Amino acid sequence: MISRELIQHLELLNNLGVKELFLPPSSKAEILKELSIKYSTCTKCKLHTGRIKFVYGEGNPDALAMLIGEGPGEQENLTGRPFVGPAGNLLTNMLKAINLSREDVYICNIVKCRPPNNRNPEPEEREACLPYLLEQIDIIQPKLILMLGLVAAQTLLNTKLSMEKLRQTTHSFQGIKTFVTYHPSALLRNPNWKKPAWQDLQRFQAEYVKLLQ
């Protein structure tokens, strides 16, 4: 297990503005695991009152791409894993459609505890959890980010633009190319959005392929 002293040192570097730090994949995995344990008892917002499992994130700690959703649902709250319910199954298939798997990417959410009745996370809840997400991004250092859902995109990109406008542009978050598409649960409710979502995925795939060349 990685030492608490190293975790504290990394947090200090982050507070000092150090954003580029080489870590081997094994070390990244250990750090993410330790942070998941550390934050699992968080009480910074009211979402902790309904928490069964803290849903930190999972996937490849050395991934080229991060996928970021809005918040855990019922199944995620029970298992402690992101995107494992019906929306998770759709996300897995979406990745397969662009020749990726869950093991290729890192998947997490804006908030780490389930909002009641799967409502959108409230501003104060997103604000409380955002430092955890920013820390994950700093550790993984992805080359691409795919935002899943309007709330997730507006939170990370600090904007109030509509989904339609957000989808039309490739954004930059801390120098990382960032794409926006519909949340898989929204696609389950509105199948007509699957075609534009596929177009978003194709744009994302094209950038991902460039990284492999």
Quote the pLDDT of residue 15: 73
pLDDT at 16 over 80: no
| From 18-22, 44-48, 63-67, 191-195, the region with the lowest mean pLDDT | 18-22
Per-residue DSSP letters for 107-153? EEESSSSPPGGGPPPPHHHHHHHHHHHHHHHHHH--SEEEEESHHHH
| From 6-20, 22-36, 150-164, 169-183, the region with the lowest mean pLDDT | 6-20
Give the position of tokens 């494992």: 84
User: If one looks up domain 25-212 in CATH, what number appears?
Assistant: 3.40.470.10
Model pLDDT for residues 49-76, shown as the tens digit of each residue? 999 999 999 999 999 999 999 999 999 9
Q: Distance between CA 144 and CA 64 in Å, rounded? A: 6
Average pLDDT in the 143-167 region?
98
Domain regions of the chain by residue span: 25-212
Average pLDDT in the 190-203 region?
98
Q: Distance between CA 208 and CA 189 in Å, rounded? A: 28
pLDDT at 21 over 70: no
